[in-house]
Amino acid sequence: GRHADEHIGQMLDALANEGVLDDTVIIISGDHGENLGELNIYGDHQTADQITSRVPLIVKWPGVTPSTKAGPRVDRALHYHFDFAATMIELLGEKVPENWDGKSFADAFKNSREAGREFLVVSQGAWSCQRAVRFDDYITIRSYHDGYHNFPDIMLFDAKSDPHEQHDL
C-alpha cells in the first residue's frame, strides 16, 4: 500500500512538473482484491468472495471527473473489470463493438451515478474452486473444492452490513 502510494505520488509530481497533469488521463486498477482474514484467508486471494472479486479502480479524466482533489466516489454499482474497457471507448467518443461482452457505464461515470449490472458471476480456481453470484447487497458462494478450508458447499453473505464476511447467512 504505502510503497505503491509513494510511487504513484512520484509519478503525479513528475506529470505536474512537466505541466501535463491536468491534461492526462490517469487510471489505477488491479487484478484482484486481497483477503485479510475474510473466510479465514490471510494475505492471499484464493476465494470467489466479495473481497477478492472487488477490484480497485481509481480514475482521473480531464473533462469527465471533477477537478477537485477528492473527486466522485462511485462504489456500489456492479461492473465487470472489462466493462471499463467499453467505458473508455465511449469516453473517447467511439462506439463499443457489438460483439463485446463489456457494457459501458460512461453516462453513469460522467454524472457520478451508481448504475451497473443487476448481478455479477465470478469464479476462482487457484487454491479453491468456487463460483459466486454478487447481487443487490449480497454474495452467494458455491464451493466445488474448498482448498482444504472446510468451507460449506454454499455460503451467503450480506456484503453491505457484513463486509468482512463474518456471518454466513
| Mean pLDDT, rounded, for 13-40 | 89
Element (H, E) at 94: none
pLDDT value for 144: 95
pLDDT value for 27: 87
Q: Return the bridge partners of 28, or none.
A: 58
Element (H, E) at 13: helix 2-17
Task: Please give the mean pLDDT across all residues of the chain.
Answer: 88
Percent of the chain with pLDDT over 90: 43
Summarize pLDDT for 43-82 with one digit per residue, the tens.
Answer: 888 898 998 988 888 888 887 776 655 555 667 789 988 9
C-alpha 63/C-alpha 82 separation (Å) is: 22
pLDDT value for 119: 95
Which value, in Å, is the radius of gyration of the alpha carbons in the chain? 18
